[in-house]
């Protein structure tokens, strides 16, 4: 092991507490997510665009993300003749390290990140152990660490993994809790809100599912933090808005990337994708068709006067026109009929019969549908409002095989550990490549030689079918079979 | 407060117009508001989604009502409601118990056969017997803790229909400010209240004098000098009710539209929004009020103005209680220090030291003086009320010391 071999650069913080108080010595401070520098002409020291003069407080200001670079530049040019008043995060001692040996590709990822200067992104498919890479980084740096996860389920999961692997009871900021510790887990939304207060408390920040970071607001979590070491983890860095290129600045360039094809059949199980079409009941179909007619008539009617009348216009006018609002409602009713088609419950019963004795996850398109499945088959749900204690009990019961089925909404889309599930059924949800990959990743964890199956239950002749097509564009769905039950 | 998802803002020609219900065009909304309040008042024990559905149904035939407005009303009504939230987690416990019991019968099928012999109805009846409730009752309680199914326990409500509509208008104004990058307030009075509440909302200020007794104060946050950010929009929205309670101001907010363009929101006390806060007290204490009354608006060539000057140094701002202006242009600031805690007095001393370049006349309560303190020439000590004669004498002393 290379612990103790100083492979991680140490940011040496120049502190001249012993040099006496020279009131005019350059001074660096942390101020609510930014750095303030006074007592110095920055034009002589820095490229001019890094700092901005802030007349409101009479000091130079820049984003906290530049902390490491600023320290280096000040140390190089001024030696010890400046004061660093940014609080120094304490080193962390791990009470009880109990981590599995890293697999070769995890070792590769770790080394690549280290060689990149302890700053950068690690891209690995779901189920290949990104969390273990992050835990290894934490043990080997001994750095005060902030872990940022997309949702509170994942936040709690990180808390458990850190407790189990490092014996450390991490603080939690989020889900109405605010318990800040040298090692803390949080969510992107909480990080955005609280970073101006906690941004100087960490030397390492881990962005789990980092594709959530570049959003217009959330990126500020990275900008307002002083941590010099940054690790971004994801299976799918791409964003439809193209903003993933900003991760180079917010986290660091890609340090390691492992393609999905390499993971398939090795760490992950082989899998099949089976599409099951269902028909609406005559009653549902009648309502569905009536809604379609209503919308069509409304739009045809409008196009007589305005040939370019579109759905967007309809939404814009719904506030001032009850007919437009009724058409809008008809559209939502159609979506809800697709989502909650009664036939889906019947197909689900068939699939449960077919896979009796195998752990099965059902992904619903809405909370309502998830609860409907739960009440019909008396199986537990994991939804965004599920209390923490129940969440744990359900996940444990599922992992131990006591509870055969788990119904989830989009909550479990990303990253939450669901051990040993071999069957997944998607009965609704949005069309998106990333969601498809993540969903597959959930059921593909290696368990012996059994093949995993993903069923996709879609209504015939509705929007559901289109969404399914769009899902299959992702290479993860390359071998879809069709089956009518 | 509303969320971003409730905001209705009309952006036209670079200006923002938040949704506002007015007394003429929306006179009929008073009727809607009364019926909405009635739905909630008579809705104790009903599910949240049923209340929301009823509110939505009220507006079904209303030509002028976007969906967001309906949702915003529901939010404002929910804000003053208490729902049964199941704090002991009874629904959660019931779920675990029922699902645990059902696990060994999985899958619950509609039709029994040789392989699968657990029919849905029989199993549910058996579990119900075990729990000791009717199955329908269990089914209703199973997800009773989920927001949409929670039942209304009590409704604090609004005083009347007009109050609900006023609240709606202010809430939309605040929701519009969530998109604000910075706000500039031009004020002629109530500086103390404006600056105090801005500080409470964790905003930074930049004070500029734009006329006699008129200041432009720009509010934003630390990172605002670095980039365009809506990060402080929530702080600005939180500050707004205090501003609405003041008089003599104009406000311009720079907003970033959903299409990443700039827009401005103009507002003034003439727009007559009803603040949730009471208007600022005219005087901080009875001593001040009494002195102002005794002195009168003008005496011996000195005009007396209340809170008319703002001194600012970085993020410390000081608004003296009174300003004396003499006909010849001499200006003397007058600050009254009542009976206060030692911490307050220390802070006040620090502030006064910071602005010692100005002519500040102090009136200090005898009880606030330190033991054996020797008050200087510009300090007047008072017992219960400030007398006019010594003040005039001190003012004249300052004036003659200035004249060549």
SS3 (DSSP) at A322: helix
Are B152 and B83 in contact by the 8 Å Cβ rule? The answer is yes
For residue B277, is it within any domain?
Answer: no
**Is the confidence at residue A189, as pLDDT, over 70?**
yes
Same domain, B205 and B263: yes
**Is the confidence at residue A83, as pLDDT, over 70?**
yes
- What percent of chain A has pLDDT above 70? 80
Name the least confident of A16-30, A374-388, A427-441, B341-355.
Answer: A427-441
- Please answer yes or no on whether B64 and A319 come within 8 Å at the CB atom: yes
Mean of the per-residue pLDDT values for chain A? 82
Same domain, B10 and B113: no
Q: Which residue has the higher pLDDT, B258 or B171?
A: B171
Domain final position from B241, B271, B301: B271
Are A198 and A89 in contact by the 8 Å Cβ rule? The answer is no
pLDDT in tens, B216-249: 999 999 999 998 899 999 999 999 999 999 999 9
Same domain, B249 and B291: no
Q: At what angle do helices A130-141 and A152-166 cross, to 10 degrees?
A: 50
Of the pLDDT bands very low, low, confident and very high (cuts 50, 70, 90), residue A7 is: very low
The domain A271-279+342-482: what is its CATH number? 3.40.50.300
Mean of the per-residue pLDDT values for chain B? 91
SS3 (DSSP) at A438: helix
**Selected residue of B62, B128, B143 to mutate for chain A interface (largest A Cβ count, 10 A):** B143
For strands B9-12 and B15-18, give the pairing: antiparallel
**Into how many domains does chain B fold?**
4
CATH architecture of A17-84: 3-Layer(aba) Sandwich (3.40)
Minimal Cβ distance to B139: which of A322, A375, A397: A375
The whole domain housing B258 covers 178-271
**Is the confidence at residue B207, as pLDDT, over 80?**
yes
Please name which of B53, B157, B138 lies closest in space to residue B91, comparing C-alpha atoms: B138
Q: What is the CATH number of the domain that holds B197?
A: 3.30.70
Q: How many angstroms away from the CA of A473 is the closest CA of chain B?
A: 30
Q: What pTM was estimated for this model as a whole? A: 0.83
- Please answer yes or no on whether A389 and B92 come within 8 Å at the CB atom: yes
Instruction: Provide the chain A residues 399-458 that lie in CB contact (below 8 A) with chain B.
Output: 402-405
Of the pLDDT bands very low, low, confident and very high (cuts 50, 70, 90), residue B118 is: confident
**Nearest Cα residue in chain B from A350:** B109
Domain final position from B271, B295, B321: B271
Q: Which tokens is A110 given?
A: 């770790």
pLDDT in tens, A349-386: 999 999 888 889 898 888 899 999 999 999 999 887 78
What are the structural domain ranges in chain A?
Answer: 17-84, 104-263, 271-279+342-482, 282-339
Domain final position from B240, B271, B302: B271
**Selected residue of A31, A56, A70, A368 to mutate for chain B interface (largest B Cβ count, 10 A):** A56
Q: Which residue has the higher pLDDT, B119 or A388?
A: B119
Q: How many angstroms away from the CA of A31 is the closest CA of chain B?
A: 8
A397 close to B (CB below 8 A)? yes
Instruction: Provide the chain A residues 180-209 that lie in CB contact (below 8 A) with chain B.
Output: 196
The CA-atom distances, in angstroms, between B290 and each of A266, B138, B279, B282, B286 are 87, 69, 20, 12, 6
What span, in angstroms and rounded, lies between the C-alpha atoms of A37 and A57?
A: 11
Same domain, B127 and B232: no
The single-letter DSSP state of residue B319 is: -
In this chain, the answer to whether the domains covering A104-263 and A271-279+342-482 adopt an identical fold is yes
- Please answer yes or no on whether A34 and B226 come within 8 Å at the CB atom: yes
Torsion sign (Cα): B192, B198, B200, B203: negative
**Is the confidence at residue B197, as pLDDT, over 90?**
yes
- What percent of chain B has pLDDT above 90? 71
**Nearest Cα residue in chain A from B110:** A349
For residue B136, is it within any domain?
Answer: yes
CATH architecture of A104-263: 3-Layer(aba) Sandwich (3.40)
Contacts of A427 (CB under 8 A, 6+ apart): A344, A348, A362, A363, A364, A365, A369, A373, A457
Q: How many angstroms away from the CA of A222 is the closest CA of chain B?
A: 13
**Selected residue of A216, A319, A362 to mutate for chain B interface (largest B Cβ count, 10 A):** A319
Same domain, B99 and B135: yes
For residue B276, is it within any domain?
Answer: no
What span, in angstroms and rounded, lies between the C-alpha atoms of A395 and A406?
A: 8
Of the pLDDT bands very low, low, confident and very high (cuts 50, 70, 90), residue B146 is: very high
Same domain, B33 and B76: yes
**Nearest Cα residue in chain A from B86:** A387
- Please answer yes or no on whether A61 and B222 come within 8 Å at the CB atom: yes
Q: What is the CATH number of the domain that holds B325?
A: 3.40.1350
For residue B280, is it within any domain?
Answer: no
What span, in angstroms and rounded, lies between the C-alpha atoms of B389 and A338?
A: 85
């Amino acid at each position: 092991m290379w612990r103790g071999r100083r492979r991680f650069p140490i940011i040496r913080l120049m502190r001249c507490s012993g040099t006496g108080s020279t009131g005019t010595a350059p001074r660096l401070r942390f101020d609510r997510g930014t750095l303030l520098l006074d007592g110095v002409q920055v034009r002589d020291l820095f490229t001019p665009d890094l700092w901005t003069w802030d007349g409101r407080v009479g000091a130079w200001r820049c984003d906290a993300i530049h902390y490491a670079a600023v320290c280096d530049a000040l140390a190089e040019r001024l030696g010890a003749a400046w004061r660093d008043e940014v609080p120094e995060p304490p080193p962390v001692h791990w009470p009880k390290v109990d981590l599995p040996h890293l697999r070769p590709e995890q070792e590769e990822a770790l080394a690549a990140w280290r060689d990149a200067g302890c700053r950068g992104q690690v891209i690995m498919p779901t189920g290949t152990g990104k969390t273990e890479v992050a835990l290894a980084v934490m043990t080997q740096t001994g750095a005060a660490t902030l872990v940022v996860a997309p949702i509170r389920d994942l936040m709690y999961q990180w808390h458990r993994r850190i407790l189990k692997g490092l014996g450390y009871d991490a603080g939690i900021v989020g889900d109405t809790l605010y318990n800040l510790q040298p090692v803390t887990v949080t969510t992107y939304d909480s990080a955005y809100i609280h970073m101006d207060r906690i941004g100087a408390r960490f030397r390492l920040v881990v962005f789990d599912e980092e594709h959530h970071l570049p959003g217009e607001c959330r990126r500020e979590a990275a900008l307002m933090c002083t941590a010099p070491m940054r690790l971004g983890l994801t299976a799918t860095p791409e964003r439809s808005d193209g903003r993933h290129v900003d991760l180079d600045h917010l986290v660091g360039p890609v340090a390691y990337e492992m393609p999905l094809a390499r993971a398939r059949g090795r760490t992950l199980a082989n899998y099949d994708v089976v599409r099951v079409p269902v028909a609406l009941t005559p009653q549902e179909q009648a309502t569905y068709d009536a809604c379609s007619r209503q919308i069509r008539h409304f739009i045809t009617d409008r196009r007589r006067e305005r040939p370019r009348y579109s759905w967007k216009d309809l939404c814009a006018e719904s506030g001032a026109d009850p007919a437009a609002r009724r058409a809008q409602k008809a559209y939502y009713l159609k979506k809800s009929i697709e989502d909650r088609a009664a036939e889906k419950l019947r197909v689900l019963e068939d699939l449960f019969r077919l896979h009796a004795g195998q752990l099965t996850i059902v992904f619903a398109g809405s909370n309502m549908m998830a609860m409907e499945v739960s009440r019909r088959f008396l199986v537990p749900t994991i939804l965004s409002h599920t209390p923490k204690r129940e969440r744990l009990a359900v996940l444990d019961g599922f992992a131990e095989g006591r509870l055969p089925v788990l119904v989830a909404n989009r909550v479990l889309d990303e990253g939450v550990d669901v051990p040993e599930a071999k069957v997944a059924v998607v009965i609704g949800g949005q069309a998106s490549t990333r969601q498809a990959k993540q969903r597959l990743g959930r059921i593909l964890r290696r368990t012996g030689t059994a093949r995993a199956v993903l069923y996709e239950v879609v209504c015939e002749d509705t929007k559901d079918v289109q969404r399914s097509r769009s899902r299959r564009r992702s290479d993860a769905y390359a071998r879809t079979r069709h089956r009518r039950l | 407060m509303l969320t971003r998802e409730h905001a209705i803002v009309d952006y036209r020609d670079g200006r923002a117009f938040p949704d506002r219900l007015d007394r003429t065009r929306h006179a009929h909304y008073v009727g809607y508001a009364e019926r909405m309040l009635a739905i909630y008042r008579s809705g104790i024990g009903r599910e949240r989604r049923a209340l929301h559905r009823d509110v939505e149904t009220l507006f079904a035939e209303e030509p002028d009502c976007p969906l967001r407005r309906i949702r915003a009303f529901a939010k404002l009504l929910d804000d003053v409601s208490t729902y049964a939230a199941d704090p002991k987690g009874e629904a959660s416990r019931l779920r675990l118990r029922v699902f645990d019991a059902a696990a060994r019968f999985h899958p619950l099928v509609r039709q029994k056969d040789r392989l699968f012999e657990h029919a849905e109805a029989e199993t549910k009846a058996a579990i119900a017997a075990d729990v000791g409730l009717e199955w329908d009752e269990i089914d209703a309680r199973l997800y009773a803790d989920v927001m949409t199914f929670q039942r209304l326990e009590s409704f604090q409500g609004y005083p009347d229909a007009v109050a609900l509509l006023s609240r709606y208008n202010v809430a939309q104004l605040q929701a519009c400010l969530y998109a604000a990058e910075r706000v500039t307030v031009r004020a002629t009075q109530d500086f103390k209240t404006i600056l105090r509440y801005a500080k409470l909302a964790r905003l930074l200020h930049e004070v500029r004098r734009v006329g006699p007794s008129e200041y432009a104060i720009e509010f934003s946050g630390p990172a605002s000098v670095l980039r365009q950010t809506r990060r402080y929009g929530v702080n600005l929205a939180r500050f707004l009710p205090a501003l609405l309670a003041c008089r003599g101001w104009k406000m311009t907010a720079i907003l970033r539209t959903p299409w990443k363009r700039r827009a401005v929101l103009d507002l003034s006390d003439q727009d007559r929004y009803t603040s949730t806060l009471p208007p600022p007290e005219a005087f901080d204490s009875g001593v001040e009020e009494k002195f102002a009354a005794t002195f009168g608006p003008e005496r011996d060539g000195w005009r007396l103005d209340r809170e008319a000057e703002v001194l600012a140094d970085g993020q410390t701002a000081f608004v003296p209680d009174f300003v004396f202006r003499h006909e010849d242009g001499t200006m003397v600031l007058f600050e009254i220090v009542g009976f206060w805690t030692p911490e307050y007095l220390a802070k006040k001393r620090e502030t006064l030291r910071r602005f010692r370049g100005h002519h500040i006349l102090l009136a200090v309560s005898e009880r606030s003086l330190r033991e054996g303190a020797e008050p200087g020439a510009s300090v007047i000590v008072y017992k219960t009320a400030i007398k006019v004669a010594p003040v005039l004498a001190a003012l004249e002393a300052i004036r003659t010391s200035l004249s060549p």
